Each structure stands twice: as structure tokens, then as C-alpha cells.
Structure 1
Amino acid sequence: MIEREITDLFGEKIVERISEARPGRKPTQPKGYAALPGTGPAGETCKTCAHRRSTGNSHARVYWKCGLMQHHWTGGPGTDIRMRSPACRQWAREES
């Protein structure tokens, strides 16, 4: 704890205590991609990949994940993928 002594407008001493604790959580790093986005075929995205998986149903929120990374999935946003992300080198054409 840091203590700082300040004099206010009326000449009185005020002791201010400032916590040294970290300001909060670090931002979540996206770790759900099988490879670095942008290393795959030009013009393709995660939305057009055969490996994309949905973890929701029609009545709940849908969270998109990469099926190749299923053994790393967590219940949080760190393993989510963005459908607009450019394709990675593991991209595969979806079977019709």
C-alpha cells in the first residue's frame, strides 16, 4: 500500500492510501484456432471451413469453436473463434 500525504485547500493534511494491486484481469487471448488466422487460402474464412463447430442450440447463445482444437476447449471465450476471421492453414472445404 502506498501512502501519500496531501494538503487540502484549507491547509489540513490528508493521508491518501493507494493499493498496489493489479488493475484487473488481462484481456483474453484467442487460443481456439488450429493455426494462425490468415495462413490459409485467400478469400476463405472460418465460416466456410468444415472444422467449425457450434456449442449452442437453437434456444441458447451460439459459441463457435474449431473442431480440430476440441481437446483444448474450455467453457470460456478463450477458445472461441470468429466466423469472419481469415482461414488458417488447416482450412478444409465443407462437404456438400
Structure 2
Amino acid sequence: MDEKSFAVYIMMNKMRTVNYVGVTSDLVGRVWQHKNKIYDGFTKRYNVNRLVYYECFETAESAIFREKEIKGWSRAKKLKLIESTNPYFKDLYEGIIQ
């Protein structure tokens, strides 16, 4: 991911029962924070620690727009989005830190 880019990402818990949609300018760092439960909150409470989807954007505005769009979707539509690029719901974190 380019240093100047922004990302919308979806994380899930191991059982795929809870998802979290977020936006960040530092995908690697932000996912690391979720995985290591750095901050109290939703992802820590529900053990949401697997990166299953992300999209990169050139501007914060476009990333935020997309984040809001995805957050408004049904669970089923989010799952279809994830499955379109990650059909086995693999944790993508290792691939982004290389």
C-alpha cells in the first residue's frame, strides 16, 4: 500500500459472526492495533482480529465515502463483497506486511 493512500477495510472474528468496517491512512499499523487489542472498543470486545478485505483510495474523502457506503449494507452484501476477492476468508494481514 502506498504511504499516501487510504484504505477501507473489513475485519472479522474467527467464527465470522462479527464484522467491522473501518478507514485508515495506515492499514498495516491499524490492523496491527486491532490484532494486538491496543484500544478498548468494539474490535477488542468481540475479538475482531482478521483482515478479510480492503480497498485502497488516493484521497481520504473517497475512502470515507466508500466506508460509509459499505457500513450501510446488509451483512449478506458485505459477505458477498468479501467473497468476491477472498472466498475462503483468509486473514490478509501477512500479505500486506511483506
Give the TM-score, by structure 2 length.
0.22
The structure with the largest helix share of the pair is: 2
Give the TM-score, by structure 1 length.
0.22
Larger-Rg structure? 1
